[in-house]
A and B are shown apart, each in its own frame.
Chain A
Amino acid sequence: MVQPDLTEQLIELIPRMRRFATGLSGSAAWGDDLVQTACERLLLRKDSLKVDTRLDSWMYQVIRNLHIDGIRAQSVRDRNAEEVKQLADLRLVSTDPMDNHLRLNEVHEAMQQLSEEHRSALMLICVEGLSYKEAAEVLQVPMGTVTSRLVRARKALIDSLGGESGETDLGAAR
């Protein structure tokens, strides 16, 4: 049986995990796939979970690993889907309801242009609100690496959102 308290904890975590997975993968559907797979893994391996492991750290970590593995598997699929994608790009024009939220759309777009390392640092610290120490645990790198990654990731995102002129002031870019 699934321990009831574990299940409850996990249900409480789902909204945050979905937010993280969506940001990481760039897709709500894909993000939900990641969260679901991570939950299934947790339920399978719950007995091996160390007592002192923080459930949210564990979940962030598994979601990220699944995402990284997914990218590798996806690259094969992507080649096949390339033609379809081009078709989609041609046909899907400005009927997207997200057009009303152009700025946020830009954020999503810009995030997906970053490296996975930068994206996960930004999601964990700026969106999920983890401390540098907690983020270092999830990413399994030293804290110094997290801080330098974060500074570079923020710079890359600011540059990207600032537009082609190289303008870095977000206020001016709006």
Chain B
Amino acid sequence: MNDEQRGLINAFNDGQLDEKGRAIVKELLAENDQARAYLDELAELDRLLRTAFDPVEQEPVPARFKALLQKKRSHTFSHYVVPAALAASLLLAVVLVIRQDTIDQQMQEQLLQMRQEIASLKHQTLENTPSGMAASWVAPVGQTRAEVTPLATFRTKDNRFCREYEERLEDANGVEIRRGVACRTGKGRWPDLTRLPSGSTGSTVEKSAVLNL
């Protein structure tokens, strides 16, 4: 088979030939085993490609696209990024307070709840939010606020999707920023691979101990 014949068989496979072209290829296929095998290869390759990529097309449209298209609204996050204060600092303060407090149990529960909310924010953000866009969570009471921004997405050699992200925790006492890399282990599950403090206005070590998400 020469290049021209390969090109014709490709075009035949892709339905790009007129009647005359199809007749030429059919004749070639009838007399040439190699040509038939080649056409089979192309068809099998296309089948594999579609099987590999069609699942993405069959997923429901993610909510974020609907939100983007149904409302004309700015997605520049600076609009709703409020200057920072830090969850961890608040939590530390909470820990200090509860030593002498009779509502110890209740506070612990709130703290746990807060950790879970922030962890859930991280997983959801890494699952759904494009790089460079922040997602935030604000505590129902107090000034605690957490923000997670995916920074970059990459794939490991074994086909695992990983994302570098920045986590910003704030409350009235300060800001803590940490960077991490999390890799997807399933839908909405992004355990950390690494996580390091990258900047803080408070006492990071103690905060990290309290806010071990």
Q: List the interface of chain A (C-beta within 8 A of B).
A: 1-2, 7, 10-11, 14-16, 18-19, 22-23, 26-33, 35-37, 39-40, 43, 74, 77-78, 81, 84-85, 87-89, 91-98, 103-105, 107-109, 111-112, 122-123, 125-127, 131-132, 147-148, 150-151, 154, 157-158, 161, 168-171
Tell me the count of chain B residues lying within 8 A, CB to CB, of chain A: 59
9 residue pairs of the A-B complex, CB under 8 angstroms, read: A29-B161, A33-B132, A43-B68, A89-B157, A97-B185, A122-B49, A126-B49, A158-B45, A171-B44
- Inter-subunit contact B130/A33 (CB<8 Å): yes
- Inter-subunit contact A18/B56 (CB<8 Å): yes
Would you call B120 an interface residue if the criterion is a C-beta within 8 Å of the partner chain's C-beta atoms? Answer: no
Within 8 A of A (CB), among B124-154: 126, 130-132, 150, 152-154
Task: Give the secondary structure class of A's interface.
Answer: helix
Q: List the interface of chain B (C-beta within 8 A of A).
A: 3, 6-7, 10-11, 14, 16, 37, 40-42, 44-46, 48-54, 56-59, 61-62, 64-66, 68-70, 72, 75, 126, 130-132, 150, 152-164, 181, 183, 185-186, 193-194
Question: A154–B62 Cα gap in the complex (Å)?
Answer: 31
Question: A68–B96 Cα gap in the complex (Å)?
Answer: 52
In the complex, chain B residues whose CB is within 8 Å of the CB of A122? 49
Check A154/B10 contact, CB under 8 A, given A32-B62, A108-B159.
yes
Question: A95–B57 Cα gap in the complex (Å)?
Answer: 25
- Inter-subunit contact A96/B10 (CB<8 Å): no
